[in-house]
Amino acid sequence: MTSQNPSRRRYLLCPPTYFSVDYAINPWMDPDRPVDRPAAQAQWRLLRDTLARLGHRTEVIEPVPGLPDMVFTANGATVVDGRVLVARFRHPERAGESGPHRRWFAAAGFRPVFAAGAVNEGEGDLLVAGRRILAATGFRTSRAAHREAARLLGRPVITLHLVDPRFYHLDTALAVLDDDRIMYYPPAFSLPSRRLLHTLYPDAILADEADAAVFGLNAVSDGRHVVLPAAARSLAHRLHAAGFTPVPVAVPELMKAGGGPKCCTLELRSR
């Protein structure tokens, strides 16, 4: 059971003003499947309001026309102790997001702000877990980016290998709950990575395929409250049994692009 009190967090979000599915760069995206943009905007507002209701500070980066995935701010950077490593996207469709994120962090007073040299998709694949960073490779972020992140962000990096293309980013297959606990979907990882996760986190909450497939692991935790997709009902029960407070939100329109609550939420960690 958890006894840790929730800590107040600061998050960066981006309104889905230009959100659409115009291309397919992950298995969930289908340009022939229409997106209801007003519904997506309402769902995003619900997520933002939920985070605020839990006591967290939310900030907004302005969306840019022609960058429909910019709503997924978690992919834009990784922030540790005020140091920022801005993403370098693998796919050209998203490459234009790096510049607006770099400018936002510079204007907001973050120092230093690094531009990634290696392919690195921010908190999509680099998740801060206490004093370490859990980092994935296999589909988006390169292994070289793990070495770069360790050097620039000053934290040891644990490399994990994703093997199921449905879970193309680490934050679709694993969520950090607090400094010492995580939840994850084992089949998303290679066997050596599963063994490593079991060694590091023997008491982790394990998700089943049904909950993983509705982005149940794409969750935002403040150490007690866990904001996750409403469809992940079984996982919510497991969180409750472990002493966490699940906070369900429905974001089905955003899920059409392969994202959920965590994808829309970049944590701003100050010194």
Structure confidence at residue 6 as a pLDDT band (50, 70, 90): confident
Burial letters for 7-45: b for 16+ Cβ neighbours within 10 Å, e otherwise? eebebbbbbbbbbebeeebbebbeeeeebeeeebbebbe
| pTM of the model as a whole | 0.96
Does the pLDDT at position 3 exceed 50? no
Two tokens, residue 131: 């004093």
Could you list the active site residues?
169, 263
Per-residue pLDDT of 149-205, as tens digits, reads: 999 999 999 999 999 999 999 999 999 999 999 999 999 999 999 999 999 999 999
Contact 114, 83 (CB under 8 A): yes
Averaged pLDDT of the chain: 96
Mapping DSSP to helix (H, G, I), strand (E, B) and coil, where does residue 107 land?
Answer: helix
- Kindly list the structural domains of the chain, giving each domain's residue range(s) and its CATH number in brackets, ordered by start: 10-267 (3.75.10.10)
Concatenated DSSP letters of 132-181? EEEEEESSSS-HHHHHHHHHHH-S-EEEEEB--TTS-SGGGTEEE-SSS-
Q: How confident is the model at residue 5 (pLDDT cuts 50, 70, 90)?
A: low
Residue identified by tokens 């801005």 is 86
As a whole number, mean pLDDT of residues 109-121 equals 97
214-234 pLDDT, tens digit each: 999 999 999 999 999 999 999
CA atoms within 13 A on the CB side of 64: 18
Residue 1 has pLDDT above 80, yes or no: no
**What is the per-residue pLDDT across 163-176, written as a single tens digit (0 to 9) for each?**
999 999 999 999 99
